Amino acid sequence: MSDKYDVVVIGSGPAGYVAAIRAAQLGLKTACVEKWQKDGKMVNGGTCLNVGCIPSKALLDSSHKYHDAAHAYQSHGIVTGEMSVDVPAMIARKEKIVAQMAGGISGLFQANGVTSVFGSGRLLAGHKVEVTAADGSVQTLEADNVIIATGSLPINIPVAPVDNDVIIDSTGALELQEVPKRLGVIGAGVIGLELGSVWGRLGSEVVVLEALPDFLAMMDKQIAKESLKIFKKQGLDIRMGARVTGSEVKDGQVTVSYENGEGTQQETFDKLIVCVGRRPYTEGLLAPDSGVNLDERGFIFVDDYCATNAPGVWAVGDVVRGPMLAHKGSEEGVMVAERIAGQKTAMNYDIIPNVIYTHPEIASVGLTEEEVKQSGEPYEVGTFPFMAIGRAVAADQAEGMVKIVAHAETDRVLGCHIVGPSAADLVQQVAIAMEFGSSAEDIGMTVFGHPTFSEAVKEAALAVHGHAIHMPNRKKRK
């Protein structure tokens, strides 16, 4: 059996389903192939919706509410009494949210005329996609264009093989039915910090082992240093320069061996989460004659517009170069759909926000101070602490700061870095400003509502030139 489409998308995660919907909106006959199964049912949404962004944020929110009720409400005059955690109920809430969102994608497909095809897709030569359903039946979809959006998988390491019982990956960490007394986390990246935060708030003693010497090396150093201080204050035991060399599971626990500056060390945990990164998911995806090449790291090779070396075949999201971020993949999906439809859409890769959903949140967009310094361009920096923001103090969320980096001669904003309340939303204000080429002065002259967390953004912009109002300035006022 063979069906002909203008566009076939392989994968219905954030990159794939957005690409499919946009293509259909542009009048292209579109099908989207998805292999994900959950509880015996085929579902859309990919990793992000089913075992990634959405379920992790549900647990982060639940755990934060518990932590506040147990430890923070008293200062507001709210007495809660004895607290307990119903982990199965928490997990059930998370699953309900996931099901709701997955159903939402199916509804959007129907509303936009996207044909949903469930099964494992494989790209053949000539823009053909072979789809093998769960029951083993096979159909072939023909298309003028194919968009590959198959996402990524957790990286496994031989020294701590995942057994889905005591040693788990990020997926398993979202399914725990009780709070581990002692939890180990390998990797102090985005996923490790978020998952460590979830179970730490619920009562686990959390130890995070990171092989690299620098905390959050991809972030601005000043923000990373401030973040580490906050996390340690919260009780996360983050050990840098700790390279895991082995693990042994015995009697329902795991003993982890690692090396640091003091030699070989050992720690025993009830559960161990391995989250050392993700890799592109291409297994079984490409037939030898598909014409699509992989780069030296296993990613599908694409140009600036996400076109592969095979004409009419495109790839977006985690499976291609660049940061593995859902919103980056979504925008690539839109770009590709519009280019297929004949538009000259391009994407600004210099302004992609990056967020860590701990509490407080950490967010950044643009260049770090270290990157600007390395470039040799003259620059100025403005910082402002949340402790000087009335809204933050009133909400008991006064930790952290906003940092803005601007060109010293043109005053154009080059980057913004935040650790603090609502950082994910605040950094987006600066991202919009950067997209329109705004200067620090432009942001500083904008009227911000009071009292709001976002006033910290305005004050940091004013501080670039020593004009901050609500703190002493380090620079001479002009």
- Model confidence over 130-178: pLDDT tens digits? 999 999 999 999 999 999 999 999 999 999 999 999 999 999 999 999 9
d(CA 284, CA 168): 24
**List of domains in the chain:** 2-154+279-340 (3.50.50.60), 167-276 (3.50.50.60), 354-463 (3.30.390.30)
Asked if pLDDT for residue 462 goes beyond 60, the answer is: yes
Instruction: Answer for the pair 468, 461: CB distance below 8 angstroms, yes or no.
Output: no
Asked if pLDDT for residue 118 goes beyond 50, the answer is: yes
d(CA 47, CA 156): 16
The DSSP call for residue 307 is: B
d(CA 168, CA 24): 39
Distance set, CA 314 to CA 118, 124, 303, 310, 321 (Å): 20, 14, 9, 8, 13
Quote the strand ranges of 158-303, DSSP E.
Answer: 167-168, 182-186, 205-210, 237-240, 243-250, 253-260, 263-269, 271-274, 278-280
Where does the pLDDT of residue 464 fall: very low under 50, low under 70, confident under 90, or very high at 90 and above? very high
Where does the pLDDT of residue 478 fall: very low under 50, low under 70, confident under 90, or very high at 90 and above? very low
Please indicate whether residue 417 is annotated as part of the active site: no
Percent of the chain exceeding pLDDT 70 equals 99
- Model confidence over 26-59: pLDDT tens digits? 999 999 999 998 888 899 999 989 999 999 999 9
Quote the strand ranges of 97-159, DSSP E.
Answer: 115-118, 120-124, 128-132, 138-148, 152-154
Rg (the chain; Cα; Å): 24
pTM: 0.95
The DSSP call for residue 474 is: S
d(CA 437, CA 439): 7
Where does the pLDDT of residue 1 fall: very low under 50, low under 70, confident under 90, or very high at 90 and above? very low
d(CA 62, CA 44): 24
User: How many other β-carbons are positioned within 10 Å of the β-carbon of residue 472?
Assistant: 6
**Mean pLDDT throughout 257-269?**
97
Strands of 205-210's sheet in order across:
167-168, 271-274, 182-186, 205-210, 237-240
- The active-site residue, picked from 71, 450, 465, 467, is 450
pLDDT at 2 (0 to 100) = 53
Burial of 311 (0-12, 13-18, 19+ CB in 10 A): exposed
Burial of 442 (0-12, 13-18, 19+ CB in 10 A): middle
